[in-house]
């Protein structure tokens, strides 16, 4: 039992997912930089976004653990060397 999806719909879904992933990859450095600020009015609204992002990462991890697919490596470790903003 399941939902049948034709090849065209599956291709569209895959393309939309790829586009969304690229947008998140471009957005994440700015979100992390804003989250590191000492100003609550800037960082606090980002909590729901980051919570959803972490939940998605966990879901993807669980999917890869239970499948034979190898996870894709992160593009690069550019987020780890971001300087903290000055107050």
The pLDDT profile of the chain, 87 residues, written as one tens digit per residue, is 567 778 888 889 889 988 988 998 898 899 989 888 888 998 899 999 889 889 988 988 888 777 766 655 555 444 555 554 554
Whole-model pTM?
A: 0.55
Whole-angstrom CA distances from 71 to 11, 17, 22, 63, 74 are 20, 16, 16, 9, 9
Sole residue written with tokens 């569209």: 12
């Amino acid at each position: 039992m399941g939902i049948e999806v034709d090849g065209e719909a599956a291709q569209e879904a895959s393309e939309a997912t790829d586009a969304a992933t690229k947008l998140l990859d471009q957005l994440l450095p700015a979100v992390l930089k804003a989250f590191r600020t000492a100003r609550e009015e800037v960082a606090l609204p980002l909590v729901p976004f980051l919570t959803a992002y972490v939940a998605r990462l966990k879901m993807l991890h669980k999917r890869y653990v239970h499948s034979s697919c190898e996870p894709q490596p992160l593009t690069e470790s550019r987020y780890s060397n971001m300087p903290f903003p000055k107050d």
